[in-house]
Amino acid sequence: MRQPVTPALLHDLVVGSHAEGTTRLASGAVIEHENQILLVETDYCWQLPGDLVLPGEDLLDAVHRTAAAAGIDLDHIAGYLGHHDLLLEAGLVRTFVFAATPRPGRACHSTTVSAPYRWADIDDLPDSLAVDVLAFIHAPRVTAHDPDQAQLLSAGLRSHARGLLAAEAAIELLVGHRLWLRRTDFIDDYVETVPTLLGDIPMACVNWPAAITALDNGSLPCSSGEDQMLRLAASLADGIPVDLRDALTRLDSDNLDLLIQAALHTGGR
């Protein structure tokens, strides 16, 4: 999932991880240049450059610092690709991976950097990779939905659910959570619009079973907190079973507040 990097996304990544009890955070980068990516050797294996986020840094500060350690001056951060977790003796470390491009003329003077760094052809990566690098390189691009279209979509979803308290609560949960209605892959594949004769705003509805099936089979990648919010909304709207113990323990205070308001709405309050 390649998402545009925004302050809201960076905030959600950190807060969501802390809500799950994961506080040791790191940043990594897929730094691509002329069909090659930069790798670093650690503990006899190759991996993407990255490091723990230091006090006073944000996720992107750590990306730029680790790139600078390899002599790379980054041009810009092209997107967020996802995360991977690694259990160490000191505890779980979550590494957020970003796509980045070097500044023209500042990538390096050759295809190799002083050890332990190296440039590797994307089509010929070494076998000793610490993570599945290709999973991040080929992450599908997800663009942010246009804000005006998002407002129209929210109105259409509310219109379709009007009068059904549980369905209304599910839509408000989805709208309040914000993330899913910003993802074009979710909107294009799991939200259906229906023209209406009443006004200019078409009705819209979510194909809840298809969306939850996509979560189950891994074709709709997201964080665990985002996963649970979508499952809770689907349970309210379509009666799809959800494990409340698992769901509630993964939510931060803001999302819990949204869920409480949704629950109250189902009772007509």
Q: Does residue 170 share a domain with residue 87?
A: no
Q: Does residue 124 share a domain with residue 162?
A: no
Q: Does residue 217 share a domain with residue 106?
A: no
Q: Is residue 1 situated within a structural domain?
A: no
Q: Which domain holds residue 166?
A: 147-266
Q: Does residue 253 share a domain with residue 219?
A: yes
Distance in angstroms (rounded) separating the CA atoms of residues 254 and 169: 16
pLDDT one digit per residue (tens) for the chain, 269 residues: 567 888 888 998 999 888 888 889 999 999 988 778 899 887 778 888 999 999 999 999 999 999 988 888 887 888 888 888 888 777 889 999 998 888 765 455 444 444 588 888 877 787 777 677 777 776 655 555 556 667 788 888 998 899 999 999 999 999 988 778 877 778 888 998 876 555 556 789 999 999 999 888 877 777 677 788 999 999 999 999 999 888 887 777 778 888 999 999 988 77
Q: Does residue 182 share a domain with residue 83?
A: no
Q: How would you class 58 by CB atoms within 10 Å of its CB: exposed for 0-12, middle for 13-18, buried for 19 or more? A: middle
